[in-house]
Structure 1
């Protein structure tokens, strides 16, 4: 498996771990009466600050993962795998690994800088696929 596909697989596993890291405290805080419901109304309780941050980090990774998946697909199907695209893929994954604690602990401006590294690595992969 290429480095790009390996990092995509690991990013998918990270997404699963992020989901669990959010879902477990969210279920405890909101109660299973709400979380198992069709959620036709807003919850009667709010999430704690840290759990809400985990939710936002999870949503952000879903958004980032779409672009990263696109980049890996284009690089892989186009036969454009290079040491540069592999390095970019690893930078993306590293940034996403750091992003979760950065968001959870409210690191400023660190969280935004970490996000930018992952985003720029993804954009660099797409540009490299065109060259």
Structure 2
């Protein structure tokens, strides 16, 4: 299995873990009657549970671009040392992003997000050039 595909699988596992990490405090905050119901009236999720939800949602967005990069690299037979390092960098950034976002430290999550975003771009450019 190409390294980039392996890292993509780990990124998917991270998405599952983020869901579990977010779901427990969110259910405590909103109550299971609400989260198990139709949710006709939206409720604001505040504090750490809200930040964990936004971090999870952000990973869904980033995972789309990363998946595209992996597909382009693998189908284009463009994998190599650079794309493997960029894939691991993406995953490392996404792992660090969760506690950075949950902690609420200003600008830290944005800087970490950018590292993952740039790593994805490097993979795409390596495949295209």
* Worse overlay, 46-55 or 99-108: 46-55
State how 1:1-131 maps to structure 2 within 5 Å: 1-43=1-43, 46-131=44-129
TM-score by length of 1: 0.95
Q: Which runs of 4+ in 1 moved over 4 A?
A: none
- Give the superposed CA RMSD: 1.0
Distance in 2, matches of 1:89 and 1:97, equals: 13
Distance in 2, matches of 1:78 and 1:66, equals: 18
TM-score by length of 2: 0.96
Q: CA deviation at 1:39?
A: 1.2
Distance in 2, matches of 1:111 and 1:61, equals: 12
Distance in 1, matches of 2:33 and 2:113, equals: 35
What stretches of structure 2 of length at least 5 have no aligned partner?
Answer: none
